Amino acid sequence: MSEVTLPRTIIEELREKATKVGITIEEYLLDILTRDVDPVKSAEKYLNGAEDLLKQAYQELREDNLRQASEKIWCACALAIKAHALAKKNIRLESHKDLWVYKNEVARELGEWIRIAFKLVDSMHKNFYENLATKEDVEDVLKEVEKLVSAISKTLKVRDQSIK
């Protein structure tokens, strides 16, 4: 995968816009890229992004970069929930509040453990800023998010064979 270098002013603008709606730059960019794409294809891109972020989170964890692992865990969860909203309801979630509300919809379908996992994941978002969690904490939540992404992926496969 090749890397893109952007001028600082563009990065600051992206960060400002993403922060304004309460999401990460990665989420913001993926939202822009999938805005005009078919909801099912967008859901697939979100799930692929979530899976990529899980791999990156494991790598960051191996390198003891707990803050970066934590943020990737948060983003993977957010993208999986956004995928569910798009594929099942054709709803685009645009803020952290939207994610907090919609996770209850996912929990009704997949089980109450989703609500608990989401709350754990939120602590990873906090850890990105405050760097409080231990490696074991980050690893535990990473496993829960991996389970969440897998469960959402499986449920979307049942609905539409073109997902994943």
Helices and strands (H, E) in the chain, number of each type: 7, 0
Distance (Å, rounded) from C-alpha 28 to C-alpha 10?
Answer: 13
Q: Is 3 helix (H, G, I), strand (E, B) or coil?
A: coil
Residue pLDDT, tens place only, 134-148: 999 999 999 999 999
Residue pLDDT, tens place only, 51-109: 999 999 999 999 999 999 999 999 999 999 999 999 999 999 988 899 999 999 999 99
User: So where are the chain's domains?
Assistant: 8-159
161 pLDDT above the threshold of 70 = no
Mean pLDDT of the chain: 88
pLDDT of residue 160: 43
Cα angle, residue 53 at apex, residues 49 and 58 outer, rounded to 5°: 155
Q: Which residue has the higher pLDDT, 9 or 123?
A: 123
Cβ atoms of 152 and 110 within 8 Å: the answer is yes
Q: What is the mean pLDDT of residues 160-164?
A: 39
pTM for the predicted model, two decimal places: 0.78
One DSSP character per residue, 108-126 reads: HHH-THHHHHHHHHHHHHH
Of the candidate CATH numbers 3.30.1360.200, 1.20.120.330, 2.40.70.10, 2.60.40.150, the domain formed by 8-159 belongs to: 1.20.120.330
118 pLDDT above the threshold of 80 = yes
Look at residues 76, 125, 94 and name the one whose alpha carbon lies nearest to residue 18.
Answer: 94
- Measuring CA to CA, how many Å separate 79 from each of 62, 113, 141, 149? 23, 18, 16, 9
Residue percentage of the chain with pLDDT more than 90: 60
Query: Quick one: pLDDT band at residue 2, thresholds 50, 70, 90?
Result: low
Cβ atoms of 46 and 80 within 8 Å: the answer is yes
One DSSP character per residue, 13-68 reads: HHHHHHHHTT--HHHHHHHHHHTTS-HHHHHHHHHHHHHHHHHHHHHHHHTT-HHH
Residue pLDDT, tens place only, 15-31: 888 888 777 787 778 77
1 pLDDT above the threshold of 60 = no
